[in-house]
Structure 1
Amino acid sequence: MPRTLSRYLPILDWGRRYDRSALTNDMIAAVIVTIMLIPQSLAYALLAGLPPEAGIYASIAPILLYAIFGTSRALAVGPVAVVSLLTASAVGQVAEQGTAGYAVAALTLAGLSGAFLVLLGVFRLGFLANFLSHPVIAGFITASGILIATSQLKHILGVEAHGHTLIEMVGSLLSHLGGINPITLVIGVAATAFLFWVRRGLKPLLRRMGAGPLAADIATKAGPVAAVVVTTLAVWAFGLADRGVAVVGSVPQALPPLTMPGLSPDLVRQLLIPAILISVIGFVESISVAQTLAAKKRQRIDPDQELIGLGAANLGAAFTGGYPVTGGFARSVVNFDAGAETPAAGAFTAAGLAIAAVALTPLVYYLPNATLAATIVVAVLSLVDLSILQKTWSYSRADFAAVAATILLTLTMGVEIGVASGVILSVLLHLWTTSRPHVAEVGLVPGTHHFRNIDRHDVHTDPRVLTLRIDESLYFVNARFLEDLVQDRVTEGCEVQHVVLMCSAVNAIDYSALESLEAVNHRLADMNVGLHLSEVKGPVMDRLKTTHFLDQLNGRVFLSQYDAWTALAQRPDRADAAE
């Protein structure tokens, strides 16, 4: 019982070994991540179309709940750019931004996402996320980064622009160029340039000036905070809010409130599919980061428990004024590099954000939206990786097609259609690829017991024995392909008297493939040609033994291909001589 309880509550495992050294390291990491997370939380709430406090609320209870249920020692949970974009896209279709219905829909989306993730975790269905291939994820994140950066240009330019696709956004921006606010433009461009310089140039500069690694790292991570402070003071001191500079405005000075997601059947129906997409994408992003960081310290991540941890975090967001969250790549890396040893670092981060929500929110009244937009642009452009197109083109045209289609459809049709199309295309390409499996005719490598492709190696063959190595499991998609291949190869009047199917790479045979094998067996029997199997794996043989196929087989089942060659070749002594 205790072991089962600690599996579902990992805090009971690492909490027993918590000591002063871990406390110190977790506190230091929490300070650094909190400094980084305050402006990010405000910015990502803006991206999601929600009030700025929603970003802070989404970073308190979710972090605490993940610390209890999650298994990663370094994963930093909270709002992230891609999930914020997906939230804006999904909620924007059911409610108007700025209304109470919009906020309720965001809570509902978080609740549905959390419930779905917990459900997957309890029933150990994390493997479903594998339907999102890495090329599709890479293409989607790249396209999302472009969309996010483009969507923030309106705040940097100080204009009103709308749209969910790249074409709509660019068209709207171009039509509003005459309304650019020069002061907002200066603030936005200066903040963007400063943040890019901080990310790439500040740390090396501080190191050259003699600063220690930790101090240089903290100063670099505090770059967005410096941009927030300077631009906020400038707007306040010069009264720029009265000259058209859009600011954050009043933010409630309070801890996260208790909220209730909408339970309307119509609202749930409209948000269910987007919630599933957000859950899967968020989980894939989160688990990849968690496993990467855990491997560096030889720690173990339980994917199914991660589903429960992320699900609990999203449920927490739904009931405390937030919106969907997941593990962020940048924050998690910062957390890891800062020395976080346990999930308690996240709990300390939540405490720091709670203090900020109570004591610091009045200070962001004059914070310009352009600065938050600059923070988002700098953060998401690091996600854009168009080199994935060249890499997949060189390696696999099928993967290239999936990436290109995902990027193109995400940019032109919207994020939900883009990722859904990428998943569907990946599945279809997989089915198409496996429908034409690689089947090689093999022969004996001289001096060995090994068999290789006759087109690639100098091997011994026998015109009476045709050996085909099947390099794919046999199922309904490719069953007829094998049937047609054998029929085309064994024609009337040919010398072949034995056909051997080398099954070393066959992990499964479904019922459709079994029927095709039976058809091949009957056809070859009518031609007085034997059908033999070799190197059949145990689970496959166990399944075949439950049928009548082996009883009706017009041949034998050999333990190894060499046994088949020795028994069936016209001159087996030739094989012996080759040894």
Structure 2
Amino acid sequence: MREAIRRYVPILDWGRHYTRSAFGNDLMAAVIVTIMLIPQSLAYAMLAGLPPEAGIYASVVPIMIYAVLGTSRALAVGPVAVVSLMTAASVSEVAAQGTAGYAVAALTLALLSGTILLVMGIFRLGFLANFLSHPVIAGFITASGVLIAASQLKHVLGVSAGGGTLVDILTSLVAHLGQTNVVTLVIGAGATLFLFWVRRGLKPLLTSIGVPGGLAGLATKAGPVAAVVVTTLAVWGFGLADRGVATVGDVPQGLPPFTLPSFAPDLVASLAVPALLISVIGFVESISVAQTLAAKKRQRIHPDQELIGLGAANIGAAFTGGYPVTGGFARSVVNYDAGAETPAAGAFTAVGLAIAAVALTPLVHDLPNATLAATIIVAVLSLVDLSILKKTWAYSKADFLAVAATIVVTLGFGVEAGVSTGVVLSIALHLYKTSRPHIAEVGLVPGTQHFRNIRRHKVETDPSLLTLRVDESLYFVNARFLEDCVQDRIADDPAIRNVVLMCSAVNEIDYSALESLEALNHSLTDLGIGLHLSEVKGPVMDRLKTAHLLDALNGQVFLSQYHAWCALTDRTADRTAAAE
């Protein structure tokens, strides 16, 4: 019972071994991450179309909940760029931005996403995320990065533009270029260039003048904070708000409020599919980051428990003024690099953000939206990886088409259409590849008991014996393909008297494949050809023994392919060895 409780509440496990040293490291990591998250949370809330405080609210309670239920020692949960963009795309379909209905819809989306993740975790359905292939995920994130960066250009220019696709965004920007606010452009472009330089050039500069590597790294990560401070002081000191520079404005002081999402059937139905897509994308991003960081310290991540932790975190966001959250790459890496040892670092970060929400929000009144936009642009462009197109083209044309289609659809039709396309293409690719399994005709390697592909190796064959190695489990999608392959081969060679299916790579035979094998056995019997099986795995054989195939089989089941070879050919010397 205690083990079960510790499995579902991991804090009871790592909390028993919590040390003073771990406390110090977690606290230091929390300070660093908190400084980074304040401007980032405000920026991602703006990306989601929500008031800036929603970003901070979404970073307080969800982090605390994950610290109790999550299994990653370094994952930092909160708003992330891709999920924020998907939130804006989904919620804008059911409510106008800036209205109370928009905020309620975002809360409802978080609740639905959290519920989906929680249910998946309880029923151990984490494996479903594997149906979204890595190339497709990479294509979607790349396209989303481009969309996000393009959507923030309006804040850099200081114009009112919009659109859900790249063409719409660029068309709107061009149409409003004449309204560009020069002061805003200077701030936004300057902040963007500064942040790019900080990311690439500050650390080498500091290390070249003798600053220790760790301190130089911290200074690099604090770059966005410096941009926020300088531009905010500039707006306040020179009264730039009076010259048309848009700022964050008044941000309510206080802890995250208790909020209620809507349970209206129409709204829930409208947001159900977007919530599912956000859940899948968020979980894939989160588990990828968590496993990568855990591997560096030889720790384990439990995907199903991660679903529960993320689900509960999203439900917490729904009732505390937030919106959908997940584990973020940038914040998690910073958390890890800063020395976080346990999820307590996340809880300390939440406390720091809560203090900021209570005491520091007046300080961001004059923070320019252009600076927040610059923060987003620099962050998301690091996600853009167009090299995935070159890599997949060189390795697999099918994967290239899937990646290219995902990118094109996301840019041309929006994030929901893009991620839906990615899911469909991932499943379609899997079905296509397994529907045409690799089936090799094999022969005996001279002087050995090994069998290899006759097209790749010099092997011995017998004109009366056809041996096919099936390199895939057999199920309803590919069962007929195997049957057709055998029929085509024996039609071309009347000398064949025995067919052996080498099943060393077959892990499963479903009922449709069983029926196909029975039909093949019947057909070969009519032709006077024996059907045999070799190297059938134990679990597969156990299943076959419950059916009629083995009783009706006109051939034999051999322990190894070499036994089959000896028994079915004229190698009399080998038959003695096979019998032994």
Q: TM-score, structure 2 length as denominator?
A: 0.98
User: Would you say the 8 A contact 1:235–1:241 is kept in 2?
Assistant: yes
Which residue of structure 2 lines up, in the alignment, with residue 526 of structure 1? 526
For each residue in 1:441-471, what CA deviation from the matched residue of structure 2 results, as whole angstroms up to 9, or x when unmatched?
Answer: 1000011110000110001111011101111
User: Matches of 2:520 and 2:69 in 1, distance apart?
Assistant: 54
Q: Which runs of 5+ in 2 are unaligned?
A: none
For each residue in 1:148-196, what CA deviation from the matched residue of structure 2 results, as whole angstroms up to 9, or x when unmatched?
Answer: 0000000001111010000110110111111111110000000000001
User: Matches of 1:53 and 1:522 in 2, distance apart?
Assistant: 71
Amino acid at match of 1:310: L
Amino acid at match of 2:549: F
User: Matches of 2:183 and 2:426 in 1, distance apart?
Assistant: 47
User: Would you say the 8 A contact 1:565–1:572 is kept in 2?
Assistant: no
Cα shift at 1:524 = 1.1
Matched, 1:304 2:304: yes
User: Matches of 1:533 and 1:549 in 2, distance apart?
Assistant: 11
Matched, 1:114 2:144: no
Which residue of structure 2 lines up, in the alignment, with residue 2 of structure 1? 2
Cα shift at 1:218 = 2.0
Amino acid at match of 1:317: A
Secondary structure of the 1:443 match is strand
Which residue of structure 1 lines up, in the alignment, with residue 439 of structure 2? 439
516-525 or 555-564: bigger deviation: 516-525
User: Would you say the 8 A contact 1:389–1:404 is kept in 2?
Assistant: yes
Secondary structure of the 1:211 match is coil
Matched, 1:264 2:267: no
User: Matches of 2:311 and 2:432 in 1, distance apart?
Assistant: 35
Which residue of structure 1 lines up, in the alignment, with residue 142 of structure 2? 142
Percent identity for Structure 1 against Structure 2: 76
User: Matches of 2:367 and 2:77 in 1, distance apart?
Assistant: 25
User: Matches of 2:240 and 2:572 in 1, distance apart?
Assistant: 93
For each residue in 1:98-133, what CA deviation from the matched residue of structure 2 results, as whole angstroms up to 9, or x when unmatched?
Answer: 000000000011111111111111111111111111
For each residue in 1:186-209, what CA deviation from the matched residue of structure 2 results, as whole angstroms up to 9, or x when unmatched?
Answer: 000000000011111111212222
User: Matches of 1:211 and 1:575 in 2, distance apart?
Assistant: 77
Which residue of structure 2 lines up, in the alignment, with residue 499 of structure 1? 499
Amino acid at match of 1:409: V
Secondary structure of the 1:248 match is coil
Amino acid at match of 1:198: V
Q: What is the CA RMSD across the aligned residues, in angstroms?
A: 1.4
Amino acid at match of 1:220: T
Amino acid at match of 2:379: A
Matched, 1:130 2:152: no
Which residue of structure 2 lines up, in the alignment, with residue 293 of structure 1? 293
User: Matches of 2:459 and 2:576 in 1, distance apart?
Assistant: 14
User: Would you say the 8 A contact 1:35–1:221 is kept in 2?
Assistant: no
User: Matches of 2:497 and 2:180 in 1, distance apart?
Assistant: 82
Secondary structure of the 1:531 match is strand
User: Matches of 2:527 and 2:5 in 1, distance apart?
Assistant: 64
Amino acid at match of 2:558: F
Matched, 1:413 2:413: yes
Deviant stretches of 4+, over 4 Å: 574-577
Which residue of structure 1 lines up, in the alignment, with residue 341 of structure 2? 341
User: Would you say the 8 A contact 1:111–1:261 is kept in 2?
Assistant: yes
Which residue of structure 2 lines up, in the alignment, with residue 403 of structure 1? 403
Matched, 1:199 2:199: yes
Which residue of structure 1 lines up, in the alignment, with residue 372 of structure 2? 372
For each residue in 1:297-322, what CA deviation from the matched residue of structure 2 results, as whole angstroms up to 9, or x when unmatched?
Answer: 11111111111111111111111101
User: Matches of 1:536 and 1:517 in 2, distance apart?
Assistant: 14
Which residue of structure 2 lines up, in the alignment, with residue 355 of structure 1? 355
User: Matches of 1:574 and 1:215 in 2, distance apart?
Assistant: 72
User: Would you say the 8 A contact 2:157–2:184 is kept in 1?
Assistant: yes
Identify if the C-alpha distance between structure 1 residues 119 and 492 changes in structure 2 by more than 3 Å, giving closer, same or farther: closer
User: Would you say the 8 A contact 2:567–2:575 is kept in 1?
Assistant: no
Which residue of structure 2 lines up, in the alignment, with residue 173 of structure 1? 173
Which residue of structure 2 lines up, in the alignment, with residue 81 of structure 1? 81
Secondary structure of the 2:340 match is coil
User: Would you say the 8 A contact 2:235–2:368 is kept in 1?
Assistant: yes
Cα shift at 1:574 = 6.8
Cα shift at 1:211 = 1.9
For each residue in 1:376-402, what CA deviation from the matched residue of structure 2 results, as whole angstroms up to 9, or x when unmatched?
Answer: 000000000000011111111111111
User: Matches of 1:224 and 1:95 in 2, distance apart?
Assistant: 32
User: Would you say the 8 A contact 1:497–1:528 is kept in 2?
Assistant: yes
User: Would you say the 8 A contact 2:89–2:164 is kept in 1?
Assistant: yes
User: Would you say the 8 A contact 2:566–2:574 is kept in 1?
Assistant: no
Identify if the C-alpha distance between structure 1 residues 473 and 572 changes in structure 2 by more than 3 Å, giving closer, same or farther: farther
User: Matches of 2:117 and 2:572 in 1, distance apart?
Assistant: 60
Matched, 1:469 2:469: yes
Secondary structure of the 1:490 match is helix
User: Would you say the 8 A contact 1:464–1:570 is kept in 2?
Assistant: no
User: Would you say the 8 A contact 1:111–1:314 is kept in 2?
Assistant: yes
81-90 or 520-529: bigger deviation: 520-529
Cα shift at 1:571 = 2.6
275-284 or 199-208: bigger deviation: 199-208
User: Would you say the 8 A contact 2:464–2:498 is kept in 1?
Assistant: yes
Cα shift at 1:572 = 4.2
